[in-house]
């Protein structure tokens, strides 16, 4: 049944968006009083930033850091590349080529660490879901993991 719920969540997500509703789990309501407090005066979703803990103030981009990118390769090998190619070819999900030019660094880090709310809210992700039909899983990335994967994506985009 839970799997059916996932499926129906994917199918009815547009409905949810159009009603402005949120799929709020009991887990969140019980365990995160702070989060629920924020939801009562919920900020408008910012498609440039996404939703999550990252923004311009805490994601700084400098010259490409090779060591960081190398760590990103290893994490992506376990958690990402089953579904994403490094080219622009779609596999299960879209190819990674060019993602750092289309999206801001903090949007990418928010999306890969906090996919579920963004799948429900972000118009471009919604459009992508209609193509892919599989919701991107939350792969439980640590903040550091996300930053390293971002660096690997930057490296992937800087190569010819």
Partner 1 sequence: MKISKNSILATFALASLLLACKPKNTSNAVSGDAAAKAYVAPGKYDEFYNFVSGGFSGQMSVYGLPSGRLFRYIPVFSVDPEKGWGYNEETKPMLNTSHGFVPWDDLHHIELSQTKGEQNGKWAFANANNTPRLARIDLKTFRTAEIIELPNSGGNHSSPFGTENSEYIVAGTRFSVPGDNDNGDVPINSYKQNFKGHISFVSVAPETGEMKIAFQLRTPGVNFDLARAGKGKSHGWFFFSCYNTEQASTLLEVNASQRDKDFIMAVNWKKAEEYIKAGKGKKTPVKYAHNVYNESTQSATSKIEKEVLVLDIAEFKDICYFIPCPKSPHGCDVDPTGEYIVGSGKLAALIPVFSYDKIQKAIANKTYEGDYEGIPVIKYEAALYGEVKKPGLGPLHTEFDANGNAYTSFFVSSEIVKWNIKDLKVLDRAPTYYSVGHLCIPGGNTVKPWGKYLIAYNKITKDRYLPTGPELTQSAQIFDISGDKMQMILDFPTIGEPHYAQAAPAELIRNNGQLKIYKIAENKHPYKTNGEGEARVVREGKKVHVYMTSIRSHFAPDNIEGIKMGDEVYFHVTNLEQDWDVPHGFAIKGANNAELLIMPGETCTLKWTPDRTGIFPMYCTDFCSALHQEMQGYVRVSPAGSNVPLSFSLNKPVAENK
15 contributes a contact to partner 1 by CB under 8 A:
no
H helices present in the chain, as ranges: 2-19, 26-31, 33-40, 66-79, 99-102, 105-113, 115-121, 123-132, 143-158
Rg of the chain over CA atoms, in angstroms?
Answer: 16
| Total Cβ atoms within 10 A of residue 124 | 12
x/- track of binding to partner 1 for residues 38-77 (CB under 8 A): ---------------------------------------x
Q: Which two tokens stand for residue 82?
A: 């089953």
Binding residue for partner 1 (CB under 8 A) from 65, 104, 128, 139?
139
Stretch that binds partner 1, among 14-22, 34-42, 48-56, 79-87 (CB under 8 A): 79-87
Q: Where along the sequence are the contacts to partner 1 (CB under 8 A)?
A: 2-4, 6-7, 10-11, 26, 30, 77-79, 81-83, 91-92, 133-135, 137-141
């Amino acid at each position: 049944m839970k799997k059916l719920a996932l499926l129906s969540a994917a199918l009815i997500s547009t409905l949810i968006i159009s009603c402005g509703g949120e799929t709020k789990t009991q887990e969140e309501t019980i365990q995160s009083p702070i989060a629920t407090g924020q939801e009562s005066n919920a900020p408008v979703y910012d498609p440039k930033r996404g939703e999550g803990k990252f923004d311009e103030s805490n994601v700084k981009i400098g010259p490409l850091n090779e060591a960081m990118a190398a760590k990103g390769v290893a994490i992506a090998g376990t958690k990402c590349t089953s579904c994403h190619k490094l080219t622009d070819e779609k596999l299960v999900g879209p190819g990674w080529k060019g993602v750092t030019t289309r999206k801001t660094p903090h949007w990418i880090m928010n999306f890969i660490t906090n996919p579920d709310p963004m799948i429900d809210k972000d118009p471009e992700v919604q459009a992508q879901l209609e193509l892919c039909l599989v919701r991107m899983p939350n792969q439980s990335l640590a903040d550091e993991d996300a930053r390293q994967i971002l660096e690997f994506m930057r490296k992937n985009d800087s190569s010819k």
